[in-house]
Amino acid sequence: MGAGLLAQTEKIAARRAVALSVVVPCYNEIGGVAELYRRVTAVCREQAGHSYEIVLVIDGATDGTREAIFELAKQDSHVVGIDLARNYGHQIALSAGLEFCRGQRILILDADLQDPPELLKAMMAKMDEGFDVVYGQRLKRQGEGWFKRATAALFYRLLRKMVDVDIALDSGDFRLMNRRALDHLNAMPERYRFIRGMVSWIGLKQAAFAYERHQRFAGTTHYPLKKMVLLAMDAMTSFSIVPLRFASHLGMIFGFLGLAALGYTLFAWIAGSVLP
C-alpha cells in the first residue's frame, strides 16, 4: 500500500473514531443556539467524555444562526457546522448531517429543544439492552395550542393508516441510532426523504422511549400545517401503494367513461342523429 493511500485510510479511520454524534438541523434559531450548545455539550461530555461531535446543519438560515454556529465551531472543535446553499427543508438538512456524522451512536435532535437532550442518558441505557434504535414517543406536548395538538394527532393517525410501514404513533425524528442502523439508512436512495418512516422500514431492533415534550425554548414553530401536509404527502408516496392504487382506479374510471362516450358517438353517427 502506498504512503498516500495509507495516510488517507488512517485519516478516514481517525475521522470515524467518535463515540457519539448529535445531529441538529437549524433554521432561523438564533434565539436558542447558545442554549442548545450549552445543554448538548453538557450531556455529550457526561456520556462520551471528549469523544463526541455536535453537527449543526444550517438550512438556509437568514437571522444570524449561520454566524452564531460558525463562531461556536471556531471556539469548540467538537462543533461542526454544515452550511447548505439554501433552505432545503428539515428532512434534507437532517439527511445531510446524518451522511456527514461519524459517531458510533447518533442522536437526532431538533434545535428548538422541545425534545430534551438530557434524555440521552436514559436512551443510551436503553440501547445498551441490545437495541439498534431508541425512538422518542411523546406522552404530552407542552406549550402547544389545541389546534396544533389536534392536527398533529390527526397527522400521525392518518399516516399510520395510509402507509405500509409500522410507524409508531406520536413519534418524530427524535431518536438514538447506532452506526449499523445509520449505515442502512444512508444506503437508501430515496430523493424525497421521510426519515422516521425510513428508519422504521429498515427494521432491526427498535424500542420506544416515552417522554414529555417540552415547550419551545425560543422563536416560533417552523412546521405549520402546510409543511405537515407536504410531509404527509412525501410519506404516503414513499411508503404506501394507496396513491398508486387511487391513480390506477381513477385511470380505469376515465378509460371506461371514454369508451362509453366513444360508443355513444358511434351509435349516434350510425343512427343518423349527428348534426350535419
| pLDDT(57) > 90 | yes
Q: Cell 391513480 identifies what position?
A: 247
pLDDT band at residue 89 under the 50/70/90 scheme: confident
68-86, pLDDT tens digit by residue? 999 999 999 999 999 998 9
Q: Cell 374510471 identifies what position?
A: 253
250-271, pLDDT tens digit by residue? 777 878 788 877 777 777 667 6
**Cα 115 from Cα 214, distance rounded (Å):** 6
**Cα 59 from Cα 87, distance rounded (Å):** 5
pTM, two decimals, is 0.69
* 3-240, CATH topology level: Spore Coat Polysaccharide Biosynthesis Protein SpsA; Chain A (3.90.550)
| pLDDT(90) > 70 | yes
| pLDDT(1) > 80 | no
pLDDT band at residue 12 under the 50/70/90 scheme: very low
| pLDDT(276) > 70 | no
Cβ atoms of residues 187 and 202 within 8 Å: no
Q: What is the pLDDT of residue 43?
A: 95
Q: What is the mean pLDDT of residues 171-189?
A: 89
20-42, pLDDT tens digit by residue? 999 999 988 898 899 999 999 99
Residue 184 φ then ψ, to 5° = -65, -45
**Cα 114 from Cα 272, distance rounded (Å):** 73
| pLDDT(2) > 50 | no
User: Mean pLDDT, the chain, as a whole number?
Assistant: 79
| pLDDT(7) > 50 | no
pLDDT band at residue 5 under the 50/70/90 scheme: very low
| pLDDT(93) > 80 | yes
Q: What is the pLDDT of residue 29?
A: 87
Residue closest to 203 by CA, chosen among 255, 165, 147: 165
Helix/strand/coil for 9: helix
| pLDDT(195) > 70 | yes
Higher-scoring residue by pLDDT: 145, 13 = 145
